[in-house]
Amino acid sequence: MTCKLAAAQMVSGPDVDRNLAAAAELIAEAAARGAGLVLLPEVFAALEGEPMRSHGERQGAPGSPIQEFLSGEARRHGVVLVGGTAPLASRPGKSASDAGYLIEDGRVRASSLVYDAAGELLARYDKIHLFDVMVEDRQAQYSESLSYEAGSEVVCVDTEAGRLGLSVCYDLRFPELYRRLFRLGAEIITVPAAFTAVTGEAHWECLLRARAIENQCYLVAAAQGGSHGPARETWGHSMIVSPWGEILAELDKGPGVAVAEMDPLFLRDTRRKMPVADHIRLD
Q: Which residues are catalytic?
A: 42, 127, 169
Alpha helices in the chain, H assignment, sequence order: 16-32, 65-77, 175-183, 197-199, 205-215, 264-273, 276-279
User: DSSP label at 41?
Assistant: P
For helices 205-215 and 175-183, the axis angle rounded to 10 degrees is 30
Which candidate, 86, 97, 78, places its Cα nearest to that of 59? 86
Q: Is 158 helix (H, G, I), strand (E, B) or coil?
A: strand
Which candidate, 251, 237, 253, 192, places its Cα nearest to that of 43? 192
Cα angle 54, 57, 61; round to 5: 145
Q: Are 221 and 248 in contact (CB under 8 A)?
A: no
